[in-house]
């Protein structure tokens, strides 16, 4: 897989002025740094396939992770070339001839909007397969490893500390944190850590992830599609996500803070 990223240091924040109004009647003009939304079109084999709204960091990782969790690829070996333009606005992905789903399906337009609030869209079903996810093989884990990720999350979200407007995700293997990132949406952050593992040949079947966001079924299914056996989150799951985790043997750990956690079995 060859990755050609032309963009560098795209703006993440913009300073804006606002009027502060306090309950005590205080009114004053202040400024603060606000997150900028970045829009990226992703072409797969020259077909416009995804529109992503994200932060312009780790864009190749985001694309790789999204390709995997949308079942467009099954591994990094399916990808021949990724090109991202200098503005980070256009990405071109070329898959190997044997990669992806059966593309003899109809080319009708469909639009899938996940529970992520950032407005990401899948624009066609040309590459999407109906592959059934594999049941996960559970791995050994220690509560201290989860607490370690919770500590790292609490201490290491620089954009969130400025804006209070990002989600974070961490990738770990045992007690070693391999990668962490932030994004506007929790789905994007999760896809970025998955894409990081694909890009660096890390076996996701031996990893766990920690998310700052709530866990509905689409978040759980992303982890299942990626083959990750342990999903931890600072937030809460839905009933349906818990049932899905049971079905696929996903270890689901929620309300994971520095001093406590809930393990759904």
Q: Which domains does the chain have, with CATH numbers?
A: 38-124 (3.10.20.10), 143-264 (3.40.140.10)
Q: Residue 215 pLDDT > 50, yes or no?
A: yes
**What are residue 220's phi and psi, to 5 degrees?**
-60, -40
Whether 118 and 178 have beta carbons less than 8 Å apart is answered as no
Burial of 8 (0-12, 13-18, 19+ CB in 10 A): exposed
pLDDT in tens, 173-201: 999 999 999 999 999 999 999 999 999 99
Q: For residues 102 and 109, what is the distance between their CA atoms, to the nearest angstrom?
A: 17
pLDDT in tens, 6-57: 999 999 999 999 999 999 999 999 999 999 999 999 999 999 999 999 999 9
Q: pTM here? A: 0.89
* 15-34 as b/e: b if 16+ CB within 10 A: eeeeeeeeeeeeeeeeeeee
Q: Residue 2 pLDDT > 50, yes or no?
A: yes
């Amino acid at each position: 897989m060859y990755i050609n990223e032309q963009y560098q240091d795209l703006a993440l924040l913009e300073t804006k002025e606002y009027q502060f109004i306090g309950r005590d009647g205080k009114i004053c003009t202040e400024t603060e740094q606000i997150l900028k939304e970045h829009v990226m079109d992703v072409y797969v084999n020259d077909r416009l396939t995804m529109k992503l709204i994200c932060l312009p960091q780790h864009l190749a990782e985001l694309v790789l992770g999204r390709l995997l969790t949308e079942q467009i690829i099954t591994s990094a070996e399916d990808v021949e070339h990724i090109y991202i333009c200098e503005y980070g606005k256009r990405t071109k992905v070329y898959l190997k001839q044997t990669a992806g789903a059966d593309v003899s399906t109809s080319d009708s337009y469909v639009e899938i909007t996940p529970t992520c609030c950032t407005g990401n869209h899948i624009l066609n079903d040309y590459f999407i397969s109906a592959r059934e996810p594999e049941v996960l093989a559970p791995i050994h884990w220690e509560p201290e490893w989860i607490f370690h990720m919770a500590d790292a999350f609490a201490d290491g979200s620089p954009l969130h500390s400025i804006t209070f407007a990002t989600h974070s995700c961490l990738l770990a293997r045992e007690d070693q944190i391999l990668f962490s990132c932030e994004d506007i949406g929790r789905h994007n952050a999760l896809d970025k850590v998955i894409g990081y593992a694909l890009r660096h040949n890390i076996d996701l079947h031996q990893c766990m992830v920690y998310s700052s966001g709530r866990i509905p079924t689409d978040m759980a299914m992303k982890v299942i599609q990626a083959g990750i056996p342990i999903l931890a989150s600072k937030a809460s799951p839905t009933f349906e996500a818990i049932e899905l985790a049971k079905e696929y043997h996903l270890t689901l750990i929620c309300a994971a803070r520095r001093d406590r956690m809930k393990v759904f079995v």
